[in-house]
Amino acid sequence: MNDTPLILVTNDDGIHAPGIRALIEEVMPLGRVLVVAPDKPQSAMGHAITIHSFLRLNAVDLIDGAEAWSCSGTPVDCVKLAIYKLLGGRRPDFLVSGINHGSNISINVLYSGTMSAAVEGAMEAVPSVGFSLMDHGIEADFSQARTVVRSVMRNVLTHGLAAGTCLNVNIPKNRGEELKGMRICRQARANWEDEFETRLDPTNKEYYWLRGEFKNEDHGEDTDAWAVAHGFVSIVPTQYDMTAHHAIAELNTWKHELG
């Protein structure tokens, strides 16, 4: 057993995104870093894994002192390949995912490849944190986000995380003002009002582009949506147990008859 913690880093924007570089630089002082991240953007891939095709890994010279691999698959594939191929089944001591270019608040936790990688880490009993900066720009300013990474990781190293949980950390866009602080939140009950933009191809056949608008009608002040809208960093403890435990009693009153 080695005393230096092993930290697995991944993301969904791809290994060459500025956000993962910022994250690697912030966690390198904490231990040995292994980067396994997608070779292309894999946003909105959710918890998808590759079962109908094979996977590739390619060594990448990314940052001095960090072993880095690009992977042909999804963010969750990256976590599985890191643990079961590169580490031979050994679990890293921590997993960090991001820093995502864009928000992962509310139900976006389900669509997000960044957060799905963190959830996969939790399934593997690895203390895992996903970080997202609410700024899609390639020129996004990660300086405040880096401060948040340092603060959250100090806590995770000190306290660990409850079994079966990971953290979903969202950081407001840097508008030149100080962050107001950090809030422990629940996931807002918001949703996407989707729309499909219809176009015609050169043979006059329709095709559709997904365009959605995020609508939050959950007015609780304990939500991630409220926190980031008010200048706070939101931290949502997130679990892979999707059981609606509160609904079990009611379902047991139903008559379940076969035939």
Closest to its own copies by CB, 4 vs 53, is 53
Closer to its own copies by Cβ: residue 170 or 187:
187
Helices 18-27, 143-159: axis angle to 10 degrees equals 40
Identify the H or E element spanning 28.
Answer: none
> Min. distance of Cβ 3 from its own copies in angstroms?
24
Residue 219 is inside which H or E element, if any? none
Query: By CB neighbour count within 10 A (0-12 exposed, 13-18 middle, 19+ buried), where does 165 fall?
Result: middle
d(CA 99, CA 96): 9
Which residue reads 């930290």 in tokens? Answer: 7
Report the distance separating Cα 168 and Cα 239, nearest Å: 10
Amino acid at 111: Y
Shortest Å, Cβ 99 to its own copies: 15
63/72 with CB nearer its own copies? 72
> Contact 11/64 with Cβ under 8 angstroms?
no
Phi and psi angles of residue 55, each rounded to the nearest 5 degrees, phi first: -120, 155
Closest to its own copies by CB, 137 vs 220, is 220
User: Shortest gap between Cβ of 136 and its own copies (angstroms)?
Assistant: 12
Closest CB 87 distance from its own copies, rounded Å: 11
Token pair of 195, please? 């729309």
Q: How far apart are CA 28 and CA 6, in angstroms?
A: 10
Nearer to its own copies, 16 or 85 (CB): 85
Q: Which is nearer to its own copies, 2 or 253 (CB)?
A: 253
In the complex, least distance from residue 24 CB atom to its own copies, rounded to whole angstroms: 21
Smallest distance from the beta carbon of 169 to its own copies, in angstroms? 11
Min CB(55)–its own copies separation in Å: 5
Residues 101 and 133 sit within 8 Å (Cβ to Cβ) = yes
- Which of 179, 157, 153 lies closest to 26 in space, CA to CA? 153
Nearer of residues 64 and 254 to its own copies, judged by Cβ: 254
